Amino acid sequence: MRTTPLDDVRFCGQVLETQQRSLIIALAKRYGRLSRHELAQTVCELLDWHRPNGQPKTIECRALLERMQEAGLIGLPALRSGRPRGAGSSVPVSPDPELAPLDVPLATLQPIALQRVTTPGDRTLWRTLIERHHDLGHRVPFGAHLRYLIQTTAPASVVLGCLQFSSPAWRLHKRDQWIGWDDATRARCLQQIICNSRFLILPPVRVQNLASHVLALALRTVITDWTAAYGVQPLLAETLVDPARFTGHCYRAANWIDVGLTTGRGREDRQHLRHGASPKRIWLYPLVPNARHRLTQAS
């Protein structure tokens, strides 16, 4: 295996910054179960490598990963056959499960359970519910992610909503400030944060305290599931809430920490034209008692 000088690793003609290279090496090491396509998508999302139309530069990034493997900088999984999971797809048509208005005490629905989405039927149902009832709709997630259906078995098995955890934002000033990160530490430790990127309680379900109860249950569940699926123990959870539409009350009730607002750009503002246009409130939840310390020490 040949080697190449570290200062000669380039992406689209530009030499990689030290922090970018460190992040890619860490991701390849920790997420060895992802396909090459999924890993390339994850890198593009975290490093904000997108075309002017907002699409990730997956092809170029995959070529970069393979060059880095040839140079002995990273190891990649063997090539897989078949259509990559991250490829574009449409949301299949599926009827919503029939659910009458539900306004009962939370105790009558216990035990609430989170069903990991793994079967084709569950994936179809999850996509359909999110596309029809979540304000952000369905988007194919990049790289590492876990999805759940929120269910009750009392008095019968009923789907109450959906959850998704996925890769975190590459840069959130208020989050990074709260942790105490500089750019190099963020690049090294970012993969130990997970993002609650979708959370839906179906419209007919109006059960007091259900949302905060589900969030608490989800955080206990996802630590184990994420570690088993990807070999990385998450130390911190994050989510973004649009204050123009939602109060974030369920996150506050579940003891998440409000650390402030984003700049409002969003991932699609490549020219920095929308600074402050639509800021989101950043909520964080430490998954271990010493999360901030460990996020500045992880390697």
The pLDDT tens digits for 163-174 are 999 988 888 999
Question: What gap in Å lies between CA 266 and CA 143, rounded to an integer?
Answer: 19
The yes-or-no verdict on residue 17 having pLDDT over 70 is yes
| Secondary structure (3-state) at 272 | coil
How many Cβ atoms are within 10 Å of 111's Cβ, its own excluded?
9
- Give me the amino acid identity at 195: C
Q: What is the pLDDT of residues 120-146, one digit of tens each?
A: 999 999 999 999 998 888 876 666 789
Residue from 239, 204, 201 nearest 222 by CA: 239
- pLDDT tens digit sequence for 33-56: 888 888 888 898 888 888 766 778
Specify the residue for token string 């269910």.
151
% of the chain exceeding 90 in pLDDT: 45
- First-to-last alpha carbon distance for the chain, in angstroms, is 25
Averaged pLDDT, 66-74: 89
Whether the Cβ atoms of residue 246 and residue 278 lie closer than 8 Å to each other: no
Domains by residue range for the chain, with CATH:
6-70 (no CATH), 106-295 (3.40.630.30)
